[in-house]
Amino acid sequence: MRKQIFIIILTTIISAKVFSQGCVAIRSTGGVCSMLDHPDSTNAHGGWIFNSNNRYYRSYKHFIGRQEQTQRIALGTNVINHAYTQDMALTRVFNSRWAVGIDIPILANTRSSLYEHGGITRASTSSFGLGDIRITTYAWLLDPAKTKNFNIQAGLGIKFATGAYNYQDYFKTTGPGGTNLLGPVDQSIQLGDGGTGITLEVNTFYHLTSTFNLYGNFYYLSNPREVNGVSTARGGTASASTIANGSDVMSVPDQYMWRAGASANINKFTFSAGLRDECLPVHDLIGGSNGFRRPGYILSVEPGVTYAFKKFTVYVFAPWALIRDRTQSVPDILKTQQTGVYAHGDAAFADYVINVGVSFKL
């Protein structure tokens, strides 16, 4: 039963760092970050865990603050992002307390819009390739031999700028003699953010009975770099207003996530339900916060189901949005101060996200 207890911790943590917000550019930065079995003194020799997580979402509903801009869909002016991520993670479990994991994401994105292509005909840009790789060291803070019903795991890692943050595609133009412009794609479908970041994680569980358990996860990515220098003009020339408020170049934002819930073990199945909050904040913890970003958060209810075999586990998690909020960015605030007119940009969000994966104990 201990193995079943901890499977929910493994699989919820696997999906915990898979971020998705549509135009709010919260990317996948995680994979497996825990041990396969319940942490106890019998796991002295450790082992290897391989996890493959597949994520998909479609964002198409625009929000300013919490107010949905329903007219965008009615007029056909909404932006539609399709995002797919294949996360491959390998973890070395050294003993009952220590582990090190590496996560390698591969991303495939498309983005269709009117405003990026002359405003008359809808067209698409896309990106494909390696994302930002992350390496993390994990430790259980309490001795598993003495605390079998409760424990806390801390993780400290580095997120490397391995994903292209200046990925380019062609934007269509209109009018006599119009030509396609080659330029950086939108921030929401860039493969990386261009910053070397520091990650902090806290994962915990509490064993209530032989069937019911509680879980909690917290993740924070701090990106000290302020901007990555990539133009937001899509192959054109930045306007004077965007230069004035700093939105002419892309920001390198922080991001964080927390989630908490309960699970129930029924034979080889584990059913879970909880809340999940993903956020790209307005201001970074370390360094400046200038540059273009679409800050915001999404609070979701997250059902999940896991099936455990002897050596591997399969799972499905599907967070469904309850609250979506595109907050006011630093350039929005500066523009408001410069013009005296309140400015608040929008962002497109998904209704739900699908995470399907499998973990192997090697």
Average pLDDT, the chain: 89
Q: What's the total number of domains in the chain? A: 1
289 lies in which domain range? 2-361
Q: pLDDT at residue 297 above 80? A: yes
- Which residue in the block uniquely carries the two structure tokens 């739900």? 352
Tokens of 47: 């082992």
Q: Among 243, 117, 253, 244, which Cα is nearest to 190's?
A: 253
175: domain CATH number is 2.40.160.40
Confidence class for position 33, pLDDT limits 50, 70, 90 = very low
Strand partners, 197: 159
The whole-angstrom distance between residue 38's C-alpha and the CA centroid of its chain comes to 26
Q: When comparing pLDDT for 309 and 176, which is higher?
A: 309
pLDDT for 35: 34
* Contact predicate 345/332, CB 8 Å: yes
Average pLDDT over residues 174-191: 84
- pLDDT over 70, % of the chain: 86
* Contact predicate 307/7, CB 8 Å: no
260/133 Cα distance (integer angstroms): 26
* Contact predicate 347/326, CB 8 Å: yes
133/141 Cα distance (integer angstroms): 26
pLDDT tens across 308-357, in order? 988 889 999 999 999 999 999 999 999 999 999 999 999 999 999 999 99
* Contact predicate 54/112, CB 8 Å: no
Average pLDDT over residues 295-306: 96
Other Cβ atoms within 10 Å of 160 Cβ, number: 14
pLDDT for 5: 43
* Contact predicate 30/335, CB 8 Å: no
pTM, to two decimals: 0.91
Q: pLDDT at residue 29 above 60? A: no
Q: Phi, psi at residue 74, to the nearest 5°?
A: -60, -40
Confidence class for position 258, pLDDT limits 50, 70, 90 = very high
pLDDT for 172: 87
Strand partners, 323: 299
pLDDT tens across 227-250, in order? 999 999 999 999 999 999 999 999
pLDDT tens across 35-65, in order? 334 444 445 567 999 999 999 999 999 999 9
Q: Please work out, in degrees rounded to the nearest 5, the angle formed at the alpha carbon of residue 224 by the alpha carbons of 219 and 227.
A: 115
Helix (H) or strand (E) holding 55: strand 47-64
Average pLDDT over residues 262-267: 94
